[in-house]
Amino acid sequence: MIYLDYNASAPLDPRVREAMTPYLDEFFGNSRSGHAYGVRVKEAIERARGQVAALVGADPAEILFTSGGSEANNLAIKGLAWAHPRRKHLVRGALEHYSVAYACDFLARQGWRQDVVAVDGVGRLDQAAMARVVGDDTLLVCVQHANNEIGTVQDVAAIARLARAQGARVHCDAAQSVGKLPVKVDALEVDLLSLAGHKFCGPQGIGALYRRGGLGLEPLIHGAGHEDGLRSGTHSVALIVGLGEAAALAEANLAETTLKLATLRDRLFDGIRAVFPAAHLNGDPAHRLPHTLNVSFPGFDGNDLLASLPELAATTGAACHSGLREPSMALKAIGAPLEIGLGAIRLSLGRFTTEAEIDRAAKLIGEAVAVRA
């Protein structure tokens, strides 16, 4: 199969697996133990913390390890709200990941007010609308760096400046952009930033939260005080080492990776348009992830189209609820017509995608569209 579903999960880089193996076999100690086994794994954890910090331009002490992006998002949002209960207003964009949206919804049921800011037809946040809703009672503004479905990249720094002028904190879900675009916390001007290892060829089940130094959070998991008291539980050392190695590899090859992915993404779209000129690009053509292509085939059903392509691993832009198909959350948010929303598929590339696979994928899609036309 041709794997074009990197936004869902990227394959583990063999170099990451190699780095992890000693901590699955030989070095299995607890980081809280004072003997040699514990010292060895503690050193490995702190080395990985430094690698993740370098990737996002943070101090190692500002990096907290979590079980993934969803936990990092929940810790950022709930942890900040519970630690600072006097400000009772939350603001988020309409394209946020479910782990952000549902965390905000949860707090709304507990007494916080919530505003959801709309996006335009290509998925960019309405900054004027954001300025209208952020006030002196706003605790947190949540801005996704890049959308997982349509790939649109937000001007996080501009929104952060707007929010911080009102004394609000800013959280950025950067799970899809880390490792594919430059992501530096100071350039983005954020207070909190989430990432997930399996999005950039690290292991599943591990992520991290950047927390600007001195910012108070209330933990979700109480216990023996691991991770500066904010994420208790025995460290999963192999996963942490894997995240660190993935971060180091991503940082070392970022410019090359970004260029390669954007070139392959455009090659794929050109190949599709050559056989189906009516193919419609969803998202911002100028500000988008280099590895994400969300394309609609008017007159076709995306689910049926992918079902006819067993050699292609990708996802559709529509969801099925109680037997009724409807466009995805992102496509509805940008106001995509029903025909565009139902005919969408998402093709996401990654480190191991080749030109041959891209050309083969375009050919397969072209053949499937021709047969069903």
Within 10 angstroms of residue 66's Cβ, the number of other Cβ atoms is 25
Out of 104, 142, 172, 320, the active site residue is: 320
* Three-class DSSP category at 119: strand
The DSSP line for 230-278 is TS-S---HHHHHHHHHHHHHHHHTHHHHHHHHHHHHHHHHHHHHHH-TT
Going by their DSSP bridges, the two strands 312-313 and 2-3 should be labelled as parallel
Contact 142, 90 (CB under 8 A): yes
* Three-class DSSP category at 191: coil
Give catalytic status of residue 172 as yes or no.
Answer: no
Contacts of 58 (CB under 8 A, 6+ apart): 52, 185, 210
Q: Could you tell me the two tokens for 118?
A: 């709309």
User: Which of 121, 69, 127, 136 is closest to 93 using CA atoms?
Assistant: 127
The residues assigned a catalytic role are 320
